[in-house]
Amino acid sequence: MERRWKGRGPWVLMCALVLALGVFVAGCGGDDEESSGSSSSGQSSSGGGPDTIRVAILSDCEGAFGAFYEADIGGAQTVLIDKYGAKAKGKKPSDGLGPAKVAGKTVEIVGYGCSNDTADKAIEETRRLMEQEKADILIGPLSGDEGIAVANYAKDNPDKTFINGTSGAQDATLKVQAPNFFRFHSDGAQWAAGLGDYAYNKLGWKTAAVIGDDYSFPYTSLAGFIAEFCAVGGKVTKRIWPALGEKDYSSFISQIPKDVDGVMVGIGGSGLISFIKQYRQQRGDIDPKKIMGNNFWPDPLILKEVGAQINGAYTAQPTAPDSTEAAAKEYVAKLDKAYGKAISDTASSVFTYNYYNAMQALVSGLEQVKGDISGGQKALQQALSKTSVDGAYGKVTLDENRNGVADNYVAQIVKGDNGYTAKTIAKIPGVEQTFAGTFSSSTPPPDRTNPECKKGSAPPWVGKAESVSFGT
């Protein structure tokens, strides 16, 4: 996508997704002058003095995940609006945010990064925010390759602190291991926990094919399914990798073997809309017992477009949109109070939720050190390494590589009172990143051929998922 969707995310979801399919809709987008402007959205670039902590937020306003831009920023900024006195400068989160007070210090959002799901653009924006806008702390990025790149940048800039947004590539923490890069959520493989077990032991799959975008996040996401499914006895007979942002999936769909028991789909963002449409055109209606998807399938923005087509299919994610727990209801209410339904309707999206938890962790760390970020921010980084987040969908703790350990949820797409949603059917508590040693700093990183499909020691949660029924 060449058009910039900065500052429009959920407000132009229909436009963004339809344009991703190559169809022009009049009235979508903004003027050319705004599209070519700075992505700092009017935030101050002036120094704030020793009592000001300068924070930047990096997300994607272009590319396959541009529609999630406002949700990311809104999730993070809601924390500062809710408890720390910040005031929104407009209806959209990217319109800016007034100063907040945390631990006696002023916290100022000095800019927003506008990336496009590529490592090069993410680093360009990271450098702008950290080196030109003089941010002390970065929250972000969104996508897999971006996260690996920013983690490596963090390693080269130890006097700054980096809290991941929602990038889920395994390597960002397991391989890079930057001591000043923190991920207060689980990675893409962990988000698939429970699906391999469910496919094999509940749906009766013995063979499967996987298909996902050809970059680090889907490699990680599908690695979680492969590791679990194969460990319990399943066989993955085909792995298919269309490019991220592909428009025509027909040749890739034709590669999916017809004799497998099921297909696990790791295509995300606007590409998933195209894939579902073209899959149905080529293979007929989706059999929900023979196809499942990763965390993009239950995302509220995606379900608005394809919920009816994937009704009944199974998925997994670290959130539970049907949760009736008090913490979940309170979280949704905070988003709604801060930005209305445009953001609160995305509460269960990993994009909104993970950026929210990132800011939660940051303010907790700042409170622990009384807002003191002197000395190369070492005290803050030490505090963050021991910080946990009482999230709306469960507690998040960090492992030794500063990666989240969190609950995961297996769910089924169903039609609810307000459209399609994900009905939670099982919780996998405390999913950790290594899958009981399957993944480590010395094993090959997830890629087109790794991990290998091996029967062996299953992750400890296999066969121990807790049944859940919140109701819809």
Which contiguous run of DSSP H or E holds residue 144? helix 144-156
Task: Of 113, 133, 111, give the one whose Cα is nearest residue 123.
Answer: 113
DSSP-derived secondary structure for 341-409: HHHHTTTTSHHHHHHHHHHHHHHHHHHHTTT--TGGGHHHHHHHHT--EEETTEEEEE-TTSBEEEEEE
Q: What is the mean pLDDT of residues 145-160?
A: 98
Q: What is the pLDDT at residue 28?
A: 34
Question: What tokens appear for 385 in the block?
Answer: 């390494």
Taking a C-beta distance cutoff of 8 angstroms, is the pair 362, 383 a contact?
Answer: no
Query: How far, CA to CA in Å, does 137 sit from each of 74, 160, 187?
Result: 17, 6, 21
pLDDT in tens, 290-347: 999 999 999 999 999 999 999 999 999 999 999 999 999 999 999 999 999 999 999 9
* Strand-pair partners of 58: 113
Question: In angstroms, rounded to a whole number, what is the distance separating the alpha carbons of residues 233 and 93?
Answer: 47
Q: Count Cα atoms within 13 angstroms, Cβ side, for 413.
A: 30
Task: Of 108, 120, 109, give the one whose Cα is nearest residue 62.
Answer: 120
pLDDT in tens, 68-105: 999 999 999 999 999 999 999 999 999 999 999 999 99
> Confidence class of residue 470 from pLDDT cuts 50, 70 and 90?
confident
Taking a C-beta distance cutoff of 8 angstroms, is the pair 256, 240 a contact?
Answer: yes
Residue intervals of the chain classified under CATH 3.40.50.2300 are 9-187+354-405, 190-322+407-467
Q: What is the pLDDT at residue 463?
A: 84
Q: What is the mean pLDDT of residues 180-192?
A: 98
Task: Of 47, 182, 39, give the one whose Cα is nearest residue 112.
Answer: 39
Among 112-121, 283-292, 456-465, the minimum mean pLDDT is found in: 456-465
pLDDT in tens, 402-444: 999 999 999 999 998 889 999 999 999 999 999 989 999 999 9
Is 9-187+354-405 assigned to CATH 3.40.50.2300? Answer: yes
Among 14-28, 173-187, 222-236, 308-322, the minimum mean pLDDT is found in: 14-28
Taking a C-beta distance cutoff of 8 angstroms, is the pair 136, 48 a contact?
Answer: no
Q: What is the pLDDT at residue 13?
A: 44
In degrees rounded to 5, what are phi and psi of residue 334?
-65, -45
Residue at token pair 């996987």: 210
3-state secondary structure of 11: helix
Task: Of 185, 180, 165, 183, give the one whose Cα is nearest residue 381.
Answer: 180
| Mean pLDDT across the chain | 90
CATH number of 190-322+407-467: 3.40.50.2300
Q: Count Cα atoms within 13 angstroms, Cβ side, for 230.
A: 20
pLDDT in tens, 5-48: 334 444 444 344 434 433 323 333 333 333 333 444 445 444 44
**pLDDT reading at 359 higher than 60:** yes
Question: In angstroms, rounded to a whole number, what is the distance separating the alpha carbons of residues 302 and 12?
Answer: 13
Query: How far, CA to CA in Å, does 374 sit from each of 161, 295, 366, 383, 393?
Result: 12, 39, 12, 14, 34
The angle that helices 216-231 and 144-156 make with each other, rounded to 10 degrees, is 110
Task: Of 217, 213, 154, 155, give the one whose Cα is nearest residue 190.
Answer: 217
CA 90, distance to chain mean position in Å, is 25
DSSP letter for 335, please.
Answer: H
DSSP letter for 304, please.
Answer: H
Q: What is the pLDDT at residue 456?
A: 86
**pLDDT reading at 4 higher than 80:** no
Task: Of 401, 397, 394, give the one whose Cα is nearest residue 386.
Answer: 397
Of 459 and 399, which is predicted with more confidence?
Answer: 399
Question: In angstroms, rounded to a whole number, what is the distance separating the alpha carbons of residues 385 and 379?
Answer: 10
DSSP-derived secondary structure for 58-103: EEESSGGGGGGHHHHHHHHHHHHHHHS---BSSSSGGG-B--EEET
Q: What is the pLDDT at residue 203?
A: 97
* Strand-pair partners of 256: none
Task: Of 220, 392, 422, 195, give the one whose Cα is nearest residue 306.
Answer: 422
Q: Count Cα atoms within 13 angstroms, Cβ side, for 398.
A: 27
Cα R_g (the chain), whole angstroms = 21
Q: What is the pLDDT at residue 96?
A: 98
Q: What is the pLDDT at residue 342?
A: 96
What proportion of the chain, given as a percentage, has pLDDT over 70? 89
**pLDDT reading at 49 higher than 90:** no
